[in-house]
Amino acid sequence: MDLQLTGKRALVTGSTGGLGEEIARTLAAEGVAVVVHGRDRDRAEAIAEEIGGTVAIGDLATDEGADAVAEAAKEVDVLVNNLGVFDPSLTWDSLSADDWNDIYNVNVVASVRMIKRFVPGMRERGWGRVIQISSALSDYPMDTQPHYAATNAARNNLAASLSRELKDSGVTSNAVAAGGILTPKAKVRLTELGRQSGWGETWEDMAETAGRRLTTMVDVGRIGLPREYADMVTFLASPRSAYVTGATLRVDGGWH
Ligand SMILES: NC(=O)c1ccc[n+]([C@@H]2O[C@H](COP(=O)([O-])OP(=O)(O)OC[C@H]3O[C@@H](n4cnc5c(N)ncnc54)[C@H](OP(=O)(O)O)[C@@H]3O)[C@@H](O)[C@H]2O)c1
């Protein structure tokens, strides 16, 4: 399928690592001019150089950081709001009201800051794609990190509201909920869990056991790869997804 993405311009927030980096690389491989974003300029520039993109640096927890990113990125056709933070060790007891406010600011309001700066231009030009990265925990919250799960429900919800707002504009708005994806950070966390559970010492030792034990609630029966997630985002970013809007698509292997 020709995704017709050549010549489009995209900003992927939080693309100096993890899922964001994979999305940036996958879009670039389809001919998209990608703006790599993060707070660490060296990491952003290294990735941008590899994929033929440019960089925008700024802390999206603040309006000033968002302004700096908007100025550097200029106009974009595709906005992927990927930036998000989480910590599975946090619990109801250990989380303060400030922690809830802080994560909402980064995981939700940072996306709104980007929407306010980039979507008016898309609307004026009559074409655009806005994609919220979220998590399957939006539908399946656990006892730990309740604040993170709640921000993901908000991400899906705001994607649908924005779709209503953008009715008949040529700009679509969707969310993609990830579950069980083996990002570099996830690999480190799972390796630690595997050591504690006696599955082995390195990820390579324990990959098969970890895959079996950790995916009892996943229909595909294995952990997902970042590329499998990035492919869905890339399809949504393309003109071929014109009849998909207001949706939350799940890339979670059928997690339930
Ligand atoms: N990993 C998973 O398995 C998983 C599962 C479900 C959903 N998700 C979602 O996927 C997204 C990416 O997760 P990830 O694990 O791939 O992330 P990650 O590896 O931790 O990367 C986070 C990115 O965000 C940037 N960043 C962090 N705080 C920032 C801030 N205040 N302002 C600007 N940039 C900031 C970091 O760059 P700098 O350090 O350069 O600032 C980095 O590029 C998140 O929204 C997460 O909720 C992930």
pLDDT digits (tens, 9 = 90+) for 158-209: 999 999 999 999 999 999 999 989 999 999 999 999 999 999 999 998 988 9
With 90 as the cut, is the pLDDT of residue 211 above it? no
Report, as an integer, the average pLDDT of 141-145. Answer: 95
Query: Do 194 and 113 have their domain in common?
Result: no
Q: Provide φ and ψ at 45, rounded to 5°.
A: -65, -35
Q: Which atom of ligand 1 is nearest to the CA of 181?
A: 3
Query: Do 205 and 101 have their domain in common?
Result: no
Query: Do 85 and 191 have their domain in common?
Result: no
236 occurs within a structural domain: yes
- Residue 14 near ligand 1, beta carbon < 6 Å: yes
- Residue 138 near ligand 1, beta carbon < 6 Å: no
Tell me, what's the pLDDT at 66? 98
Structurally, the chain folds into a number of domains equal to 2
Q: Sort 105 into a burial class: Cβ within 10 Å, 0-12 / 13-18 / 19+.
A: middle
d(CA 180, CA 162): 27
State which of 25, 60, 86 you would mutate to test the pocket of ligand 1, scoring each by most atoms of that ligand within 8 A of its C-beta. Answer: 86
Catalytic machinery residues: 148
Q: Which atom of ligand 1 is nearest to the CA of 60?
A: 32
- Strands 33-38, 9-12: pairing is parallel
Tell me, what's the pLDDT at 110? 98
pLDDT in tens, 48-73: 999 999 999 999 999 999 999 999 99
Q: 20: CA distance to ligand 1 center in Å?
A: 7
Confidence at 217, pLDDT banded by 50, 70, 90: confident
Tell me, what's the pLDDT at 256? 85
Tell me the torsion sign for CA atoms 111, 239, 237, 242: positive
Query: Do 153 and 47 have their domain in common?
Result: yes
Tell me, what's the pLDDT at 212? 87
Query: Do 71 and 186 have their domain in common?
Result: no
Query: In this structure, what CATH number is given to the domain that contains residue 134?
Result: 3.40.50.720
Query: Do 60 and 70 have their domain in common?
Result: yes
Report, as an integer, the average pLDDT of 22-27. Answer: 98
Tell me, what's the pLDDT at 108? 98
2 occurs within a structural domain: no
Q: Provide φ and ψ at 253, rounded to 5°.
A: 65, 15
With 90 as the cut, is the pLDDT of residue 93 above it? yes
256 occurs within a structural domain: no
Tell me, what's the pLDDT at 210? 87
User: Using CA positions, which residue lies closest to atom 34 of ligand 1?
Assistant: 38
4 occurs within a structural domain: no
The average confidence (pLDDT) of the chain is 96
- Residue 80 near ligand 1, beta carbon < 6 Å: no
> What share of residues in the chain are helix, strand, coil (percent, to 5)?
50, 15, 35
Query: Do 67 and 167 have their domain in common?
Result: yes
Report, as an integer, the average pLDDT of 122-143. Answer: 97
Tell me, what's the pLDDT at 1? 93
Q: 133: CA distance to ligand 1 center in Å?
A: 10
- Report which DSSP code applies to 243: T
Query: Do 239 and 217 have their domain in common?
Result: no
1 occurs within a structural domain: no
User: Using CA positions, which residue lies closest to atom 3 of ligand 1?
Assistant: 181
Where in the sequence is the domain holding 217, given as residue range(s)? Answer: 182-221
Q: Which atom of ligand 1 is nearest to the CA of 182?
A: 3
Tell me, what's the pLDDT at 171? 98
For 161, residues 6+ apart whose C-beta sits below 8 A from its C-beta are: none
Residue 12: count other Cβ atoms within 10 Å of its Cβ.
36
Query: Do 101 and 150 have their domain in common?
Result: yes
With 90 as the cut, is the pLDDT of residue 131 above it? yes
Report, as an integer, the average pLDDT of 5-24. Answer: 98
Query: Do 51 and 159 have their domain in common?
Result: yes
